[in-house]
Structure 1
Amino acid sequence: MEAKKRTKIIDVLGSTSVGTQVLVKGWVRTFRNNQFIALNDGSTINNIQGVVDFTTTDEKILKRITTGACISITGEVVESKGKGQSVEIKVDQLEILGDADADKYPLQPKRHSLEFLREIAHLRVRTNTFSAIYRMRHAMIFAVHKFFTEKGFFNIHTPIITGSDAEGAGEMFKVTNLDLENLPKTVEGHIDFKEDFFGKETNLTVSGQLEVETACMALSEVYTFGPTFRAENSNTSRHLAEFWMIEPEMAFYDINDNMDLAEEFLKYLTNYALDNCKDDLEFLNNRAVEEDKQKPQQERAEMTLLERLKFVVENDFVRLTYTEAIDILKNSKPNKKKKFQYLINEWGADLQSEHERYLVEKHFKKPVILCDYPKDIKAFYMRLNEDGKTVAAMDVLFPGIGEIIGGAQREERYDVLKGKIEKMGIPEEDLWWYMDLRKFGSAPHSGFGLGFERLMLFVTGMGNIRDVIPFPRTPDNAEF
């Protein structure tokens, strides 16, 4: 009986019985000996092999079966005689759905550099590496929402266009509909933003945290998961101008509750990847191992990708204060022998990735949560500790990544927050609504932020953040 409905390749490989007639559609990865088609439809990293009878197939059709072409095949599922697959399809009918010019198609079956693939980001998802990353990205998005839903949190959409600068960093993209060729000016000669669309200066958001706190003060446990933007002119492997942030905010949580949730969350996500992305993880793990072999011995990773993931789920996270961490780092061999790029000389230093990774990978050999940072290196909204020098901030540190989560207990005391805002020179009129939350039924509350692409770097083992988001936005690059 002829199959009329398409079957996904993942289902053919996983559950279709030998002798069944199936219809599959996908893109040609390879076509060998005018007979063997490796076909992939994106449902799995594994291809299905279609076997064509070239003695009875139209030669014009055979010539059109090129790498990148989109085809439809109908045939019987049979036991495979080749290596690497248990079943294949004996092709009865074949239709070309979309040709791919063999001379111009840029993704020929060979190894391509990641730099080259970024130049053709519209096609790179057709490679094994990027199809695995896209599938895992979906799995992690689902896992985030599943975790918070199971815990009774509510998802809140916070604004993308905002008049506030949550971090006080100042590196924001301006939003305007003013005529840039004819800008309205005030008497003093400044741009008159009262003439702009919103009647004030606005930007793309750097964080949804301040806005999601409003929902926290009514719904108790909430989270936002949305796009954020930083106009930081940085071309490093860790920076994007557009990325996604997960920011839970919880009423009645102190800093210890916050750390508990962060650890539970990260273990849940890592376990979800291990349980639900096995084929893709195995491929990415083997890819990273092979890539590592090309590096000098001293630059090779101490753990494979799968070992790093298991390292997170199998260990309790070590918790210590910033002050304790500084003592460890000051007395460490890399610091004493001046091997650190940034030497630790005194309390108050802002920790760098090399320090964070040393604590995780060398000293404790476990994930680490640092807390109680100096107030001068943290944001205005973090709760001042009783010592007057530190704030109830916490960072979660991971192998290969360094900081993966940053969070804090928020300053719920109106007078203390007002004093901090004044001291830091933040205009109170921009945050009147945020201050209102401290006036009307204020409550202790905490939250944290997880950069989604930072998480994707960890679970995929990729080395550059531009390779874990479909269309990276970086300085001088807004292609596609």
Structure 2
Amino acid sequence: MAELKRTQIKAVLASDETGTEVLVKGWVRTKRESKNVAFIALNDGSVIHNLQVVADPQALGEETMRLITTGSCLAVRGTLSESQGAGQKVELLASDIEVYGTADPEKYPLQPKKHSLEFLREIAHLRVRTNTFGAVYRLRHALIFAVHNFFNERGFYNVHTPIITGSDAEGAGETFRVTTLPFDNPPRTDEGGIDYKKDFFEKEANLTVSGQLEGELAALALSNIYTFGPTFRAENSNTSRHLAEFWMIEPEMAFYDLQDNMDLAEDFLKYLIRYALDNCADDLLFLDKRAADEDKLKAANERSEMGLMERLQFVLENEFERLPYTEAIEILRNSKPNKKKKFNYVIEGWGADLQSEHERYLVEKHFKKPVILFNYPKEIKAFYMRQNDDNKTVAAMDILFPGIGEIVGGSQREERLDKLTERMEAMHIPAEEMWWYLDTRRFGTAPHSGFGLGFERLVQFVSGMGNIRDVIPFPRTPGNAEF
């Protein structure tokens, strides 16, 4: 083909300039052909909609037409014309087609028919070529961009925290170990344990479960920082809500108390959702219809009360209800589902660790708005959360959304050295291994707060996808590290 700069299909479909010559490149979604005319649906990933290419089979030749099948990759030069069919303003009258790559229709797994999400997970290397996953990938990108925009506009600094670490931030022990020692015959100490002094880092190391602790170090110098990086949890859980590898957004702010923390988190979530609605309208409308179609296949008691777009507007249009954990427990304890034992986990009283069903009841049934719970019992929260004066609760907060339950968890951090060391001792967290963290309380301590937002949980909410494995390109789950 002669020199002509490629135009993205997104720009072509938005164009009103018929009669102009353009060059587009992409993959064939479908082809319909008769003796005199062929209609080729072409997509290059820039937009959910396909460009209809109208071609003359006789002019292009039998050999070229034979190579054009679903999945093949083409470069098409032609003239933009007003579309004769419904659904788009323009179509492309092809003058020349070059086939870059063919796709054997007998072997290509993405033929133009409905495929289950389970099947598509087995071919995750190709599933992005479907409308659903193209929409999810574009939405994911937009939300990544919006995260950085939000914090940059507010004077936050992005900090890269370690992926390999010697600490378990949550104290849960569900970490992936990092070692160069031989598994079959590791060196031993005199006592018979593994001699980590002979390992690469000369100590036990693991993949990080959170960038928070290192983020706090940066916040106590730069004031407002955020991390956005991969995190790993070796929790052997095969649910629609868990991944072994996922991305976390964790801002940490010096001089913020719990109220400041809640204000920022609410603004952040609304900003992200508004950005998605403003910049991903076509993809969201497609995903909204897809979610509605999926919902129709569910049992009546499992169907969502709100469609995807309704849920997004629900978050934007409501001030988040804020109430202490203690009040929430009373509401739940006296609720009909609890009294009639409809909850899978019946609330007996104060101290219960809330489950998704409880969180959703508060949001969807009781308050009918997003909810921020705060001041949780210290026994069910992490060691670094600031202890309240009642000696029973900590200054923690969780944000609850419809359809998903908890989406953000955070707290004011314990800045008092004596209180922090006392709590660590009670939870059997060795102070000598956390000397660097405790130093920030020894040298110029300050009130500070932060929260964590699991990025895939956010994408799942905004996209309406039912399984978290479908909002990350290549999910890592128990028994699955393919691709």
Of 172, 177, 180, which aligns to 1:177? 180
1:180 alignment partner, SS class: coil
In structure 1, give the amino acid aligned to 2:30: T
Distance 1:472 1:395 in 2: 26
Of 278, 293, 298, which aligns to 1:275? 278
In structure 2, give the amino acid aligned to 1:189: G
Q: What's the TM-score, normalizing by structure 1?
A: 0.99
Q: Which moved more, 1:54-63 or 1:107-116?
A: 54-63
State whether residues 315 and 370 of structure 2, in contact with CA within 8 Å, keep that contact through their aligned partners in structure 1: yes
In structure 2, give the amino acid aligned to 1:121: A
State whether residues 81 and 92 of structure 2, in contact with CA within 8 Å, keep that contact through their aligned partners in structure 1: yes
Q: Are 2:138 and 1:146 aligned?
A: no
Distance 2:333 2:66 in 1: 67
2:57 alignment partner, SS class: coil
Distance 1:3 1:188 in 2: 73
Distance 1:2 1:36 in 2: 24
In structure 2, give the amino acid aligned to 1:11: A
1:15 alignment partner, SS class: coil
State whether residues 194 and 200 of structure 1, in contact with CA within 8 Å, keep that contact through their aligned partners in structure 2: yes
Matches within 5 A, 1:57-456: 57-456=60-459
1:55 alignment partner, SS class: helix
Distance 1:416 1:75 in 2: 72
State whether residues 253 and 445 of structure 1, in contact with CA within 8 Å, keep that contact through their aligned partners in structure 2: yes
The Cα of 1:296 is off from its aligned counterpart by 2.2
Q: Which residue of 2 aligns with 1:14?
A: 14
Distance 2:94 2:236 in 1: 53
Distance 1:253 1:444 in 2: 7
Cα deviation code 1:98-147 (max 9, x no counterpart): 01111100000000000000000000000000000000000000000000
Distance 1:330 1:423 in 2: 30
1:175 alignment partner, SS class: coil
Q: Which residue of 2 aligns with 1:461?
A: 464
State whether residues 3 and 21 of structure 1, in contact with CA within 8 Å, keep that contact through their aligned partners in structure 2: no
The Cα of 1:79 is off from its aligned counterpart by 0.4
State whether residues 321 and 369 of structure 2, in contact with CA within 8 Å, keep that contact through their aligned partners in structure 1: yes
Q: Which residue of 1 aligns with 2:25?
A: 25
Distance 2:68 2:16 in 1: 25
Distance 2:60 2:85 in 1: 22
Cα deviation code 1:42-79 (max 9, x no counterpart): 00000000000123221011011000000010000000
2:251 alignment partner, SS class: strand
Distance 2:3 2:18 in 1: 14
State whether residues 3 and 23 of structure 1, in contact with CA within 8 Å, keep that contact through their aligned partners in structure 2: no
Distance 2:301 2:199 in 1: 55
Counterparts in 2 of 1:285 and 1:3: CA distance versus 1, 3 Å? farther
State whether residues 16 and 89 of structure 2, in contact with CA within 8 Å, keep that contact through their aligned partners in structure 1: no
Cα deviation code 1:295-349 (max 9, x no counterpart): 2222211000000000000000000000000000000000000000000001000
In structure 1, give the amino acid aligned to 2:409: G
In structure 1, give the amino acid aligned to 2:377: P
1:172 alignment partner, SS class: coil
State whether residues 392 and 409 of structure 1, in contact with CA within 8 Å, keep that contact through their aligned partners in structure 2: yes
State whether residues 2 and 21 of structure 1, in contact with CA within 8 Å, keep that contact through their aligned partners in structure 2: no
Distance 1:294 1:190 in 2: 54
The Cα of 1:15 is off from its aligned counterpart by 2.4
Q: Which residue of 1 aligns with 2:39?
A: 36
Q: What's the TM-score, normalizing by structure 2?
A: 0.99
Distance 1:86 1:15 in 2: 8
State whether residues 60 and 96 of structure 2, in contact with CA within 8 Å, keep that contact through their aligned partners in structure 1: no
1:56 alignment partner, SS class: helix
Distance 2:3 2:295 in 1: 45
The gaps in structure 2 that reach 5 residues or longer are none
State whether residues 28 and 74 of structure 2, in contact with CA within 8 Å, keep that contact through their aligned partners in structure 1: yes
In structure 2, give the amino acid aligned to 1:362: K
State whether residues 208 and 232 of structure 2, in contact with CA within 8 Å, keep that contact through their aligned partners in structure 1: yes
The Cα of 1:293 is off from its aligned counterpart by 1.3
State whether residues 197 and 203 of structure 2, in contact with CA within 8 Å, keep that contact through their aligned partners in structure 1: yes
State whether residues 2 and 22 of structure 1, in contact with CA within 8 Å, keep that contact through their aligned partners in structure 2: no
Distance 1:255 1:300 in 2: 35
Distance 1:273 1:79 in 2: 30
1:174 alignment partner, SS class: coil
State whether residues 245 and 476 of structure 2, in contact with CA within 8 Å, keep that contact through their aligned partners in structure 1: yes
Number of equivalences: 480
State whether residues 215 and 222 of structure 1, in contact with CA within 8 Å, keep that contact through their aligned partners in structure 2: yes
2:58 alignment partner, SS class: coil
The Cα of 1:2 is off from its aligned counterpart by 7.0
Distance 1:106 1:257 in 2: 51
Q: Which moved more, 1:118-127 or 1:418-427?
A: 418-427
1:345 alignment partner, SS class: coil
The Cα of 1:424 is off from its aligned counterpart by 1.0
State whether residues 45 and 280 of structure 1, in contact with CA within 8 Å, keep that contact through their aligned partners in structure 2: yes
State whether residues 16 and 90 of structure 2, in contact with CA within 8 Å, keep that contact through their aligned partners in structure 1: no
The Cα of 1:3 is off from its aligned counterpart by 6.4
Alpha-carbon RMSD across the aligned residues, in angstroms, is 0.9
Q: Which residue of 2 aligns with 1:476?
A: 479
In structure 2, give the amino acid aligned to 1:239: H
